[in-house]
Amino acid sequence: DQQVKQNSPSLSVQEGRISILNCDYTNSMFDYFLWYKKYPAEGPTFLISISSIKDKNEDGRFTVFLNKSAKHLSLHIVPSQPGDSAVYFCAASVAGYGNKLVFGAGTILRVKS
């Protein structure tokens, strides 16, 4: 069973607008969440993370929101830029369990100029 789900395989957004990528999880033991970005022919690169003791974390244009009661997190990119076009993976872990990450299937983001 998929413990981390990204239900939107793709998303298309106009440059300058907000991109919202969503992620749902089923395992209530998860207490740390990460977003990775992946360009073609490259490995995933860490983007932003959030601990379950927080409900929001910001880093420049990127903000992650966590709703523990709904087991849902989202990544907001504002404003979106063409260079943000990539595959975005949501990942979750149980802190202290050896950094084992469980990944979602990814969402392809296309930012149109």
Partner 1 sequence: DADVTQTPRNRITKTGKRIMLECSQTKGHDRMYWYRQDPGLGLQLIYYSFDVKDINKGEISDGYSVSRQAQAKFSLSLESAIPNQTALYFCATSDPTGGETQYFGPGTRLLVL
Size of the site for partner 1 (CB under 8 A): 25
Phi-psi region of 105 (alpha: psi -120 to 50; beta: other; left: phi over 0): alpha
Binding mask 18-37 for partner 1 (x = CB under 8 A): --------------x-x-x-
Determine if 89 is a binding residue for partner 1 (CB under 8 A): yes
Determine if 41 is a binding residue for partner 1 (CB under 8 A): yes
Q: How far is the CB of 79 from partner 1 (least distance, A)?
A: 26
Q: Which stretch binds partner 1 (CB under 8 A): 12-20, 42-50, 52-60, 74-82?
A: 42-50
Determine if 104 is a binding residue for partner 1 (CB under 8 A): yes
Determine if 11 is a binding residue for partner 1 (CB under 8 A): no
Residue 97: count other Cβ atoms within 10 Å of its Cβ: 12
At residue 72's C-alpha, the angle toward residues 38 and 64, to 5°, is 55
Exposed, middle or buried, 40 (CB in 10 Å: 0-12/13-18/19+)?
A: exposed
